[in-house]
Structure 1
Amino acid sequence: MKLQKIIGIAVAMSCMSCHEIVESVNDTFHGAPRENNKRRSENVTSTTTSETTTITYTSRQPDEDKGFLSNAARLSAAENALRRLPAFAGKDIYLYEGVHFYDDGRINMKVQNPDNPAYVDAYSFNKGSWQEPQPVQLSVHDDIGSRLVKLDDLHFSSVATLCRNFSMKADSILGAAPLSHVYAILRKNTYTWYPQSISGSRERYFISFTKEGEVEDFYRQ
């Protein structure tokens, strides 16, 4: 009986030794125990997850142009950049028919060609710079002269004043949407600012502005 116990203990010790030998071989060829490998795998997963989160975050680009209508400095900078274009060096700039301003930083307008007064070009301001002008097709019936306004008489910064005054009125009207588009219509060598209405969920108001963007008239319709 004692002999059987001795043989059993010897077999168990032999198995333990074999297991340790296998572990030693793994360590030699793989460089780390299994437990360390498990921890290393967990670290890699954590790092990969962190890197993925970082990439997702940094790939989101903020809308830097938002709030353009209320920013007098940026509006003035756009006007000054237009004046500095080589095509207008030493020349007066005449806007034609209409000028459109958008809260995302865009401006679209038509300008009389500085070299040929019978031509009109379309100008677009986007992402902080003026794009190459595009020719505008005109009819022989278009009265170009009556739809011109000198840039000196229409200051882009007036849009910020208009936007502020519009917003002050709209804030008191339930359901009124924020302003995202301001434009000037040019007729008879003068211009009128739009929009001329504020619509709420239960009320609608007429509003008009001076050339400088101040409120000229305001009443419920």
Structure 2
Amino acid sequence: MRLQQLTGIIIMMMCVSCNQFRQSIHDTLYGSDTDSSYKNLPKSQEEEVITTTSGSDTSVSAHISISTSTTTTTIEHSNGTTIVHNSHTTNDNFLSDAIALLNAENALRALPAFAGKSIYLYKAIHFYNDGRINVTIQHPDNPEYIDEYNYSNGKWEDPKPVQLSVHDDIKKALISLDNVNFVCASAVYSNYNRKAREVQGAAPLTHIYGIFESRKLIWHPQSINGSREKYFISFNPSGGVKDYYRQ
């Protein structure tokens, strides 16, 4: 079970930076000051507990339980907030599988072209529930070039050159991979579907994408369309609900 313990810590720490630990935990849990539908979530009866710290007087316990189909990571903060994250091990639900998303990011970082170099994503990244990821990345040797990278069947394909215009401002649409954690897409997926289940006629997500503007990540989609209602929804970088209201 040691591997699952380490995985739980990695998922927790990748989505939340130390200097924003308290607020990010709260945002991922509650979405906003009025979004409290994750309170008092039940815990698994079979779990292992890891305690770590971040900052002064701040403790976190990660409870990890394993079943044949789901890995559940429950993160408890000392202020009483709780996050429950389910990682399904089936291959047909990629967006909910935090482990698979983490593996995809690690595989990208391990590509020979990026050895010893920083990775900068360009414009957008797309995640699909069938296991695909599409992203454009600044060329590691020529900053004026952009390449398209596609991930499918558990591996990254060879990059493809992207044709640019002289009017494209590359620097404006770049963001470091260090600021885009793939596992946080699973939090977006979970939080979106949690809200969509409350809206009659709303369909679950099959595609999540992030837009990069001024070196910031903005998650999409930002609307939930039901048969009778439409809601606006937005997320913070770690995948917690930021704003949610009926339009």
Return the match for 2:174 from 148, 153, 161: 148
Return the match for 2:225 from 196, 199, 221: 199
**Structure 1 residue 72: deviation in Å?**
0.6
Secondary structure, aligned partner of 1:115: coil
**Structure 1 residue 83: deviation in Å?**
0.3
Compute the RMSD of aligned alpha carbons.
0.7
In the TM superposition, 1:87-166 aligns within 5 A as 87-166=113-192
Conserved? CA contact 1:65–1:127, under 8 Å: no
Q: TM-score, normalised by structure 1?
A: 0.71
Equivalent position of 2:59 in the other structure:
none
Q: Hey, what's the Cα distance between the residues in 2 that align with 1:185 and 1:212?
A: 14
1:85 to 2:111 alignment = yes
Return the match for 1:186 from 201, 208, 212: 212
Q: Hey, what's the Cα distance between the residues in 2 that align with 1:160 and 1:132?
A: 25
Asked which structure has the greater CA Rg, the reply is 1
Q: Hey, what's the Cα distance between the residues in 1 that align with 2:211 and 2:185?
A: 13
Q: TM-score, normalised by structure 2?
A: 0.63
**Structure 1 residue 69: deviation in Å?**
0.6
Q: Hey, what's the Cα distance between the residues in 1 that align with 2:214 and 2:186?
A: 25
**Structure 1 residue 187: deviation in Å?**
1.3
**Structure 1 residue 191: deviation in Å?**
1.9
Alignment-mate amino acid for residue 144 of structure 1: I
**Structure 1 residue 65: deviation in Å?**
3.1
Q: Hey, what's the Cα distance between the residues in 2 that align with 1:173 and 1:189?
A: 33
1:139-179 C-alpha deviation (Å, 9 max, x unpaired): 11110001000000000000001111111101111111010
In the TM superposition, 1:165-180 aligns within 5 A as 165-180=191-206
Alignment-mate amino acid for residue 66 of structure 1: D
The 4+ residue runs of structure 1 with deviation greater than 2 A are none
Equivalent position of 2:246 in the other structure:
220
Alignment-mate amino acid for residue 98 of structure 1: A
Alignment-mate amino acid for residue 114 of structure 1: P
Conserved? CA contact 1:182–1:194, under 8 Å: yes
Q: Hey, what's the Cα distance between the residues in 2 that align with 1:201 and 1:140?
A: 44
Specify every segment of 5 or more residues in structure 2 that has no aligned partner in the other structure, as ranges: 1-89
Q: Hey, what's the Cα distance between the residues in 1 that align with 2:91 and 2:148?
A: 21
- Of Structure 1 and Structure 2, the greater helix share is in 1
Alignment-mate amino acid for residue 151 of structure 1: L
